[in-house]
Chain A
C-alpha cells in the first residue's frame, strides 16, 4: 500500500518452492547429474497479473478512508533457482515488474476543520494519476517430509515504487513502500496417474514489516501467497507448468485517525513457466 497518496503491494514466492517441488515430484535418481540425491533447478515464470493496491486518504483534509484501485494486467518475469540435497532444499527467486497503470481516481481535499464553508481555493477536487512497479525476492529453506511435500521457512522482501503522474503522463513525484519479514509454507506435487503431467501447489504465510519512504515508523503487514496448477515434463530435465497464483498483503494502518483500518494489496493471475533440472 502507499502512504497518503502513494500506493501499495508486493508479491511472489511460492514460485521457487513451487519449482523445486514440481521438479522433485517427477525426478528420479537416474536423471540426476550432480550426484545421488542432488538436484539443481533453474526456472523462469511469467506471471500475467493484476494489482489491486490502496491509497489511503490524507486526514483530516480528505477524511480517513482507504481508496482502492486495480491495475491493468502486466506480464511479470520471475527467475528462480533451487538446490535439493537429500531431503533438504534451498531456493530463491526474484521478480522485477514493468510499470502497472491504474485508472484515475479523485478525492475531495479541504483545508481546515469541517463543517466549514469552503470556496475555492480552500476546496479541491484532486485527481490522482498513478503508475507503479514492484521488485520482490525471497529465499527459502525447506525439508521434504515426504517425496511429494516439503515444509519451508524463508525471508520475503518487497519494494513497491509509485509514480504520481502529471496530466500529460510525465512523472510528478516518486515514492516507495517496502515490506520484509519471515514466511513459512508448504509445497507439494505429484504425478497424475502414469502420465507425464503433475499437479502442484504451494502456500506461504508471513508477518512482514512495512515501511513508507521518509517515515521512520514501521507497521505490520500479513502476507499470504498461493499457487497451484499443472506441470508437464516431456523429457527428464525439462518441465513446463501452467497455474494460477495470488498474493495478498494486509497493511495495518498505525495513524489513530484510521481506527485500525487495514489496506489490502492483491496481485493475482495466471502463471506460465519452465524449469531446467540438472
Chain B
C-alpha cells in the first residue's frame, strides 16, 4: 500500500513537478518530509493563433491560422514539504511557422474604391512561465493556486500586387492567476495514470497599447507515467491542451456574445524527472 501511494505521488510530481512525500521519511537526502524534483518536458505541439481584422477594409471578423508542428521544452522544479509544495516552470520553443493565407481588402480614395488581395506570411515565438503552490488533499490529489505569464511575438509579413509590402510585429503578454488540481492513479508494474487541470482569468496587453483585454485560460494534460525503481527517475508520456481566449468586445457587430480571438496549443508530451 505504501509503495502504491509513493508511486502515485511521483506521478504527480511528473506533472506539476510536485514531489511525493512517501520516500521522504527514509530516503530523502533533503530531510524528512522534504522532496525536491527537477523535470524536463518536451511538447510536440501546434499553435492556433488569431488576429482581428481591420473592419473598414476587411470586414469585422477574427482570422485564425495554425502552425506547423514544433517542439517546445519545459524545464521545471518543485519542492514539497509535508503536504504542501511550490513549483515553477518555464516554456520555450523555436520559432513557429504558419501557412500563408490571404484576404480581400478594399481601400477607398475619394470616389474610388479599389479591392486588393493581401497576402500574409506569419512566424511567431512564445515563452511561458508559471509558479504554483499546492496542497495534497490526499496522497494522489492536490489542489493548486498559481500565477501564469505568457509572452507572444508575432511577425506578419504583408504583401500584395498594388500594395506596399511591410512587416508588422505584434508583441503581447497574458498574465493572471490560475487554480487547478493534479491527480494520479497507480496501474501496476511501476506505471500510473496522471492528469491535471488549470483554469484562470488573465489580462492581455499589447506592447505599446493602452487597452487591457480579458482572457480565459484553461490547460489540461493526461497521460501515463513510469517510475524507475532502481533510480530516482520517472518518465511521462501524455497529451496536453491549452487554450487562451481573448475577448474582443469592439468586434461585436451583432448576434449573441462577445467575439473571441483564440490561442490554442496542443499535442503530445514526453517528460523526465529527477527526484531528490
Contacts and interface: CB of A to CB of B under 8 A. Distances in A.
A268 B104 contact: no
Nearest to A115: B162
B114 A226 contact: no
Contact of B193 (A104, A108, A118, A149): A149
Interface on chain B toward A: helix, strand, loop, or mixed SS?
strand
A146 B188 contact: yes
B253 A106 contact: yes
Interface stretch (B19-27, B53-61, B144-152, B206-214): B53-61
A167 B59 CA distance: 17
A70 interface: yes
Given A105-B59, A107-B58, A108-B106, 10 more contacts: A60-B104, A67-B63, A68-B63, A69-B61, A108-B103, A109-B104, A117-B114, A205-B239, A248-B241, A266-B264
A122 to B, nearest CB: 8
Interface residues of B, number: 74
Interface string B198-222: 0100000000000000000010101
Nearest to A71: B257
B257 A65 contact: no
A268 B243 contact: yes
Contact of B253 (A70, A105, A228): A105
Given A63-B103, A65-B101, A123-B113, A72 B256 contact: yes
A235 interface: no
B255 A192 contact: no
Nearest to A117: B114
Nearest to A243: B197
A146 B187 CA distance: 6
Contact of B48 (A106, A123, A264): A264
A248 B241 CA distance: 9
A67 B245 CA distance: 15
Contacts of A68: 50, 62-64, 262
13 contacts: A71-B257, A72-B256, A103-B259, A115-B114, A116-B114, A117-B114, A188-B185, A192-B141, A199-B185, A202-B222, A224-B266, A259-B100, A264-B262
A25 B184 CA distance: 13
A22 to B, nearest CB: 11
Interface in B87-109: 99-106
B102 A192 contact: no
B115 interface: yes
Nearest to B63: A65
A101 interface: yes
A214 interface: no
Interface string B156-180: 0000111100000000000000000
Interface of B: 46, 48, 50, 55, 57-66, 99-106, 112-118, 120, 137-141, 160-163, 183-188, 191, 193, 195-197, 199, 218, 220, 222-224, 238-239, 241, 243, 245, 251-260, 262, 264, 266
Contact of B66 (A57, A148, A262): A262
A63 B101 contact: yes
A72 to B, nearest CB: 5
Interface residues of A, number: 74
Nearest to B117: A114
A89 interface: no
Return the 4 tightest CB-CB contacts between A and B, nearest first: A190-B185, A199-B183, A63-B103, A106-B59
A113 to B, nearest CB: 8
A166 interface: no
A273 interface: no
B54 to A, nearest CB: 10
Contact of A226 (B118, B241, B251): B241
Contacts of A52: 260, 262, 264
Nearest to B185: A190
Nearest to A124: B59
A251 to B, nearest CB: 10
B187 A148 contact: yes
Contacts of B241: 224, 226, 246, 248
B61 A261 contact: no
Interface string A24-42: 0100000000000000000
Nearest to A144: B187
Nearest to B223: A203
Given A65-B102, A103-B257, A199-B141, A70 B262 contact: yes
Nearest to A118: B115
B193 A148 contact: yes
A193 B255 CA distance: 48
B113 A57 contact: no
A261 B66 contact: yes
Contacts of A67: 61-64
A244 B196 CA distance: 10
B64 A103 contact: no
Interface string A115-154: 1111100010111011000000000000001101100000
